[in-house]
Structure 1
Amino acid sequence: MTEKLSDYLMTAEAAEFLGVSQNTLRTWAKLGKVPVRVNPANGYRLFRRKDLQKFLDSVAKPVSRKANLREAMITIGCMKQLTHEPTQPFFFYLVGRGSAAG
């Protein structure tokens, strides 16, 4: 199968694709975490879309029920600090409805 230039992204585009800074992507490439190719004509780094997606899939973690509850509790803690009002009824409302623990 012949690869096309459109199958590749330059550093800025690849960093945006991954949601990280260009420097982070360069570091990951240097450490071998993300495959990179270098254009021999100009020295630009090129990242294949398939490789980037594979990397994302490998580091993606399923969100657990416990993580959802922890996130809800953090949100409620922030709300309590902002409003200075009791938030226990609101927390029980979230849990009872299944939003936080569901």
Structure 2
Amino acid sequence: MNQYITIKEASTILGVTKLTLRNWDKSGKLLAHRHPFNNYRVYKLEDIDKVLDMIENDIFIVKKKKDELRKLAVKHLEEE
């Protein structure tokens, strides 16, 4: 029998955000199934395990979030 997990559980296992999983679903990289009652995305545990193996073997490339700071150009308006 197939075991299903929530998008939150899948994101924790894979180390990516829920938005990344939604994007992978839209692009076909990792297809989600829909819960019959609430239509939430759920993932087969075996599919998550396959993707995790591919990530560990550098077959499935995951871009990590950049931790660098950005400088913002701020203009101050002079008071009249």
Shorter-chain TM-score bucket reads 0.5 to 0.7
**1:58 corresponds to 2:49:** no
> Structure 1 residue runs of 4+, over 3 Å off?
none
**1:37 corresponds to 2:37:** no
* TM-score, length of structure 1 as denominator length: 0.51
Structure (1/2) with the larger helix percentage: 1
| Aligned residue pairs, count | 58
**1:49 corresponds to 2:52:** no
Pairwise mapping of residues 77-96 of structure 1 onto structure 2 (< 5 A)? none
Aligned-CA RMSD value: 1.5
Secondary structure, in 3 states, of the residue corresponding to 1:34? coil
* Corresponding residue of 2:66: none
Residues in 2 aligned to 1:21 and 1:49: alpha-carbon distance in whole angstroms = 17
- Structure 2 unaligned spans of 5+: 59-80
Q: Deviations over 1:7-46 (max 9, x none)?
A: 1111111100111111111111111111210113211101
Residues in 2 aligned to 1:58 and 1:26: alpha-carbon distance in whole angstroms = 19
**1:8 corresponds to 2:4:** yes
Higher Rg of the two aligned structures: 1
- Structure 1 unaligned spans of 5+: 63-102
Which of structures 1 and 2 has the larger relative contact order (alpha carbons within 8 angstroms, sep 6+)? Answer: 2
Q: Percent identity?
A: 36
- Which AA in structure 2 matches 1:23? L
Pairwise mapping of residues 65-84 of structure 1 onto structure 2 (< 5 A)? none
